Amino acid sequence: MNLTREETLRELYNLILNKDTRDWERTVLTTTKDALETNENFKVQMAKLEEKLRPLALRDNLTGDVADFYLKILGESAEEAFDFSKHRIKDFTHQDYAVFGGGCFWCMVEPFETRAGIDSVLSGFTGGDTQQPSYDEVLSGGTGHVEAVEIIFDTRKISYQELVDLYWQLIDPTDNQGQFQDRGNQYRPIIFVRNDQQGKIAEKSKEKMIESARYKQPIITEIKPTSTFWPVENHYQQFYKKNPKRYKRIKRYRQRFLLYQRLKGEIRIRLQK
């Protein structure tokens, strides 16, 4: 534990006041805060807190900021912080935004972020009505939001058309109940377009997908105007870097499913010919 008593109390206060903190987490944190304020043994109280949080931490089921605090209790560095201040357009002549909902945002970042011409990829929520939705609120499916990625790209190095083409390779466009193992409206596939030019490119691309006859089921992927994009907290940003083994397992499952789906499509096309 690298934090002092005073630093720990400050962190506890912030987490207790954080609207994203779950009720159970808030109760446990409050108990520790109250004990520290009455000068209970610091190391003993932190050991008790670590023991209570451990089962959920091992299952990666703590809310984001509490998960970062748990790492500090262990004496480990908090997860690499995503620099939210750098996710903005600096050159309006040569940079643009693109927003895609394609299931869990954990698996949507790496395929875009590792492409030349991508300046930043931010995970978050969009398409709903609730202001500043929390991760748990969106997960419940009641806010109307979907998990999505907002991409800033250099138009001199990669085009919006190329991003859309890549997007179709990452999703099952026939599934309106979610994507792969992630079920629910918050995971449905949507292309969010921010102007008429993006809209025309997306619509034409979708028409080509339909005309290709690669899918037995209808293409249900929506195309909608962009709305407010709410970033998710640091813990959920760049999952593929922070949890490489788990990410590879999820990615492998998705790739196998998509490969099988494409092979069925190729067979269907050949039989039709």
Residue 181: is its pLDDT beyond 90? Answer: no
Return the higher-pLDDT residue of 154 and 74. 154
How much is the average pLDDT of 182-208? 96
- State phi, psi for 173 to the nearest 5 degrees: -75, 0
Q: How confident is the model at residue 80 (pLDDT cuts 50, 70, 90)?
A: low
Residue 219: is its pLDDT beyond 60? Answer: yes
pLDDT of residue 53: 95
pLDDT of residue 78: 55
Tell me the longest C-alpha to C-alpha distance in the chain.
80
- 104 assigned to active site: yes
Domains and CATH numbers, the chain: 5-73 (no CATH), 84-262 (3.30.1060.10)
Options 56, 62, 98, 104, the catalytic residue: 104
How much is the average pLDDT of 121-149? 92
Residue 272: is its pLDDT beyond 80? Answer: no
With tokens 């190329």, the residue in question is: 162
Its sign, for the CA torsion 22, 27, 31, 36, is positive
Give tens-digit pLDDT for 90-120.
999 999 999 999 999 989 999 999 999 999 9
Distances (CA, A) of 265 to 177, 180, 209, 222, 272: 21, 18, 11, 21, 11
Cα–Cα distance for residue pair 94/154, rounded to 1 Å: 6
Under a CB-based contact definition with an 8 Å cutoff, are residues 191 and 202 in contact?
A: yes
| Least confident stretch, 156-165, 228-237, 262-271 | 262-271
How much is the average pLDDT of 74-98? 85
Report the percentage of the chain scoring pLDDT > 90: 66
- State phi, psi for 237 to the nearest 5 degrees: -85, 140
